[in-house]
């Protein structure tokens, strides 16, 4: 009995010195303190970017909207209200055949619609790499290379090729006079660049599509192969539907960018001096860049807002279409 | 043993001859890609050959783009590196001359800010929205989707206006503030998805050991998505190095190499940079701009093309 009591007392003593296996149940005060600490931590992370967004996204968007109804007076350094005057000017310019804005809109919309001729190429070549077709590893590295190389440098090297090398080859080897393809400008240059960018500009979505394709369970593709499905059928009936979510995001994002892109390419070739070839993005870019102080900003904002009103419903329309086509596959 | 070898040979044979390997799609794709690669290298090769053509030889050939050089020289590279300069007028009206050294330094600062400020903010916000339950998460994620789906065009002028009014235009601080957000690209969604998939056991174990929220985030969770961070950092650094339009718009008196070469490309035969108006000089400048990113890519190619896995256990 005494032994039992001694061992019990020893056990109690050991328990007191050893740390408990399970942590003590926290009191409600501890939980509240932990939540307060977590909230402070959360605020520290979230508040600075939110302040930034409030100024550089929310305020900027509202300011651009209000500025589109204003006019800048350089003498007094103030903005004054002019109603829909800027919109009126933009719309009037839009309907003047051959005007800068008119050409910009036509070339932008035509470029967007025709770009669907080329967009499958990215997916097809990602499929080529995914299916490990001949030379896939080498081509994967090569297709990604233009993303690494400066677009400006490649563009300007192209300019030398099209403006100097090709006309020189045509004249000396074939005795044919070819005008410099970029320097001459106009619709001819626009069409040339459209074909050129389509044929050569592949590889941009390679990594993204490859990653999505690699997530497709191998059992599915194995099963398809056992059923005698060839690569083309596998691509159309299995791979494409399974990566459709990503494709749809890119399609919707593409609509959102219609009136914003294109500025860089033409700026690189012509600075701010081209009225044809051009694009809406380039037109607004030039208005901002060529602005004397704040003078050009209201018109740039008005054009931006006008095309935003067109782009928003278009974006939601394309999203609605892609949602309709979405097979909603989970894997 | 021989049987095993024979089976392995058969397996290899099967792999090469399997459906999809030399299907017509493969042949068509192979042909197209071969032509594509050949043309890419032809362009770069032509530019390199012309950049090392001796200047007098180039002039004697009648400034021909097709003439094969009789005399090679790297003088154009040395000149571009040492002599290239142009005058810049700052927003405050001051004028100073920028040399290649300054442009390189600016390019490094620009690339670091442009890449890491945005990437770290994106990672932090993605982390808290994925792993901490607050109602405000919905607002943050909603904001992200809104800016992604709703295109608001023509706000560049308003951004410039506010930067000028706040005296942040053409300053590094202004650029840091501009990049202090989690918008742009899909990285926010990728990180958020990855942090959501991380097992809770890591954070729980660290908390039992007494780690705080910051320690769990920085020491436990961030290292688990290191591969994606590295991929984002590498692609970000490369695209920032190549970016000429952002410095042109927001940092006009802090020219980067890319921006400098863009201005340099416009050198005409009558200006300050008259001697650089010839093709070999311009192409030498372009080749120098391509060199760091190409080397970077060759060194980290595997990481850039293959870093899509996370550490830790998936729940």
Q: Is residue B268 classed as helix, strand or coil in its secondary structure?
A: coil
Judged against a pLDDT cut of 70, whether residue B306 lies above it is answered with no
Q: Looking at the structure, do residues B281 and B254 belong to the same domain, yes or no?
A: yes
Please report whether residue A300 resides in a domain.
yes
Please give the Cα distance from B227 to B225 (Å, whole number): 6
Distance (Å) from the alpha carbon of B289 to chain A's nearest alpha carbon: 8
Rg of chain A, C-alpha, whole Å = 31
Distance (Å) from the alpha carbon of A8 to chain B's nearest alpha carbon: 30
Please report whether residue B315 resides in a domain.
no
Please report whether residue A177 resides in a domain.
yes
Please report whether residue B230 resides in a domain.
yes
In terms of CA atoms, which chain A residue is nearest residue B18?
A: A225
Judged against a pLDDT cut of 90, whether residue A137 lies above it is answered with no
Q: Looking at the structure, do residues B260 and B273 belong to the same domain, yes or no?
A: yes
In terms of CA atoms, which chain B residue is nearest residue A284?
A: B154
Interface probe with B: pick from A23, A44, A56, most Cβ of B within 10 Å: A56
Residues from chain A that touch B286, judged by Cβ atoms under 8 A, are: 150, 153, 156-157
Between the alpha carbon of residue B95 and those of residues B98, B105, B254, the distances in Å are 10, 19, 12
Q: Looking at the structure, do residues B41 and B162 belong to the same domain, yes or no?
A: no
Q: Looking at the structure, do residues B182 and B241 belong to the same domain, yes or no?
A: yes
Please report whether residue A137 resides in a domain.
yes
Please report whether residue B41 resides in a domain.
yes
Q: Which of B150, B154, B158 sits opposite A303 (nearest CB)?
A: B154
Please report whether residue B158 resides in a domain.
yes
Half-sphere exposure of A297 (CA within 13 A, CB side): 27
Please give the Cα distance from B209 to B182 (Å, whole number): 31
Per the CB < 8 A criterion, the answer to whether B102 and B88 are in contact is no
Please give the Cα distance from A42 to A46 (Å, whole number): 6
- Tell me: the pLDDT tens digits for B100-146? 889 999 999 999 999 999 999 999 999 999 999 999 999 999 989 88
**Last residue of a domain, which of B41, B60, B81?**
B81
Judged against a pLDDT cut of 60, whether residue B14 lies above it is answered with no
Please report whether residue B13 resides in a domain.
no
Q: Is residue B52 classed as helix, strand or coil in its secondary structure?
A: coil
Q: Looking at the structure, do residues B221 and B246 belong to the same domain, yes or no?
A: yes
What domain count does chain A have? 1
Structure tokens at B184: 């742009």
H or E element: which one contains A80? strand A78-81
**Last residue of a domain, which of B81, B103, B118?**
B81
Give me the total of CB pairs closer than 8 Å, taking one residue from chain A and one from chain B.
Answer: 251
**Last residue of a domain, which of B55, B81, B107?**
B81
Q: What are phi and psi of A71, to 5 degrees?
A: -135, 140
Q: Which of A53, A256, A294 sits opposite B181 (nearest CB)?
A: A53
Please report whether residue B1 resides in a domain.
no
pLDDT at A292: 78
CATH of the domain at B179: 1.10.3720.10
Please give the Cα distance from A128 to A203 (Å, whole number): 12
Per the structure, the complete domain to which residue A316 belongs is given by 97-325
Q: Looking at the structure, do residues B270 and B152 belong to the same domain, yes or no?
A: yes
Q: Looking at the structure, do residues B74 and B195 belong to the same domain, yes or no?
A: no
Selection from B115, B123, B140, B143 nearest residue B191 by Cα: B123
Q: Looking at the structure, do residues B181 and B297 belong to the same domain, yes or no?
A: yes
Please report whether residue A57 resides in a domain.
no
Q: Which of A118-122, A306-310, B9-13 has the lowest mean pLDDT?
A: B9-13
What domain count does chain B have? 2
A210-236 average pLDDT score: 86
Please report whether residue A155 resides in a domain.
yes
Distance (Å) from the alpha carbon of B273 to chain A's nearest alpha carbon: 18
- Tell me: the pLDDT tens digits for A156-192? 898 888 988 899 999 989 999 988 888 888 999 999 9
A248 touches chain B (CB under 8 A): no
User: Confidence class of residue B175 from pLDDT cuts 50, 70 and 90?
Assistant: very high
Judged against a pLDDT cut of 50, whether residue B18 lies above it is answered with no
CATH of the domain at A208: 1.10.3720.10
A3 versus A223: the higher-pLDDT residue is: A223
Please give the Cα distance from A193 to A276 (Å, whole number): 12
pLDDT at B315: 40
Q: Cα angle at A270 between A264 and A274, to 5 degrees? A: 100
The proportion of chain B whose per-residue pLDDT surpasses 90, expressed as a percent, equals: 28
B205-218 average pLDDT score: 89
A305 touches chain B (CB under 8 A): yes
DSSP state of B276: G
Residues from chain B that touch A288, judged by Cβ atoms under 8 A, are: 156-157, 160
Per the structure, the complete domain to which residue B133 belongs is given by 84-306
- Put simply, the answer to whether B36 touches A202 (Cβ < 8 Å) is yes
Please report whether residue A7 resides in a domain.
no
Please report whether residue A52 resides in a domain.
no
- Tell me: the pLDDT tens digits for B228-256? 888 888 888 988 998 888 898 899 889 99
B73-90 average pLDDT score: 82
User: Confidence class of residue B273 from pLDDT cuts 50, 70 and 90?
Assistant: low
Neighbouring CB atoms inside 10 A of A123's CB total 22
Please report whether residue B296 resides in a domain.
yes
Between the alpha carbon of residue B282 and those of residues B81, B255, B269, B285, the distances in Å are 12, 17, 13, 5
Q: Which of B19, B134, B258 sits opposite A225 (nearest CB)?
A: B19
B162-174 average pLDDT score: 92
Judged against a pLDDT cut of 70, whether residue B312 lies above it is answered with no
Q: Looking at the structure, do residues B214 and B231 belong to the same domain, yes or no?
A: yes
Judged against a pLDDT cut of 80, whether residue B208 lies above it is answered with yes
B51-73 average pLDDT score: 88
Work out the mean pLDDT of chain A and round it to a whole number: 84
């Amino acid at each position: 009995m005494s032994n039992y009591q001694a061992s019990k007392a020893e056990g109690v003593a050991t328990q007191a010195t050893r740390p408990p296996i399970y942590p003590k149940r926290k009191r409600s005060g501890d939980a509240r303190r932990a939540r307060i600490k977590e909230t402070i931590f959360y605020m520290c992370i979230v508040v600075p970017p939110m302040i930034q967004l409030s100024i550089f996204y929310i305020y900027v968007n509202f300011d651009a909207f209000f500025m589109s109804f204003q006019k800048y007076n350089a003498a007094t350094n103030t903005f004054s209200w002019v109603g829909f005057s800027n919109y009126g000017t933009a719309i009037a310019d839009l309907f003047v055949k051959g005007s800068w804005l008119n050409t910009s809109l036509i070339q932008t919309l035509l470029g967007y619609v025709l770009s669907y001729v080329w967009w499958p190429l990215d997916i097809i070549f990602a499929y080529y790499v995914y299916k490990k077709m001949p030379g896939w590893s080498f081509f994967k590295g090569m297709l990604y290379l233009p993303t690494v190389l400066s677009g400006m440098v490649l563009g300007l090297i192209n300019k030398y090729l099209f403006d100097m090398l090709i006309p020189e080859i045509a004249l000396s080897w074939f005795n044919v006079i070819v005008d410099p393809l970029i320097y001459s400008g106009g619709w001819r240059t626009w069409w040339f660049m459209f074909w050129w960018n389509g044929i050569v500009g592949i590889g941009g979505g390679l990594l993204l599509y490859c990653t999505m394709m690699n997530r497709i369970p191998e059992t599915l593709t194995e099963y398809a192969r056992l059923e005698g499905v060839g690569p083309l059928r596998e691509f159309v009936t299995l791979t494409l539907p399974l990566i459709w979510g990503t494709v749809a995001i890119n399609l919707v994002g593409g609509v959102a960018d219609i009136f914003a892109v294109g500025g860089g390419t033409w700026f690189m070739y012509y600075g701010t001096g081209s009225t044809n070839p051009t694009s809406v993005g380039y037109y607004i870019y030039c208005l901002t860049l060529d602005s004397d102080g704040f003078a050009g900003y209201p018109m740039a904002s008005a054009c931006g807002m006008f095309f935003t009103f067109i782009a928003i419903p278009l974006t939601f329309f394309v999203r609605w279409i892609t949602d309709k086509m979405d097979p909603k596959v989970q894997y | 043993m021989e049987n095993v070898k024979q089976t392995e040979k058969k397996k290899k044979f099967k792999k090469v001859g399997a459906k999809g390997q030399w299907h017509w799609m493969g042949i068509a794709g192979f042909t197209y890609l071969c032509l594509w690669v050949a043309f890419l290298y032809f362009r770069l090769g032509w530019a390199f050959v012309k950049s090392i053509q001796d200047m007098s030889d180039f002039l004697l050939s009648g400034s021909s783009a097709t003439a094969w050089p009789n005399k090679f020289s790297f003088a154009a590279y040395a000149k571009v590196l040492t002599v290239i300069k142009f005058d810049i007028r700052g927003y405050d009206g001051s004028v100073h001359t920028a040399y290649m050294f300054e442009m390189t330094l600016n390019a490094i600062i620009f690339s670091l800010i442009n890449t890491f400020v945005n990437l770290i903010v994106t990672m932090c916000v993605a982390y808290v929205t994925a792993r901490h339950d607050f109602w405000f998460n919905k607002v943050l994620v909603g904001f992200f989707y809104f800016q992604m789906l709703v295109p608001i065009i023509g706000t560049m002028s308003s951004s410039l206006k506010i930067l000028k009014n706040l005296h942040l235009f053409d300053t590094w601080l202004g650029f840091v503030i501009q990049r202090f957000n989690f918008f742009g690209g899909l990285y926010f969604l990728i990180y958020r998805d990855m942090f959501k998939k991380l097992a809770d056991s890591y954070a729980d174990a660290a908390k039992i050991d007494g780690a705080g929220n910051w320690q769990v985030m920085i020491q436990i969770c961030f290292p688990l998505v290191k591969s994606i961070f590295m991929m984002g950092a590498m692609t970000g650094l490369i695209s920032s190095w190549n970016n000429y339009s952002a410095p042109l718009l927001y940092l006009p008196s802090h020219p980067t190499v890319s921006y400098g070469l863009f201005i340099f490309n416009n050198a005409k035969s009558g200006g300050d940079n008259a001697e650089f108006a010839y093709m070999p000089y311009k192409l030498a400048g372009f080749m120098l701009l391509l060199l760091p990113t190409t080397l970077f890519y060759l060194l980290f190619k595997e990481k850039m093309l293959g870093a899509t896995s996370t550490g830790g256990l998936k729940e």
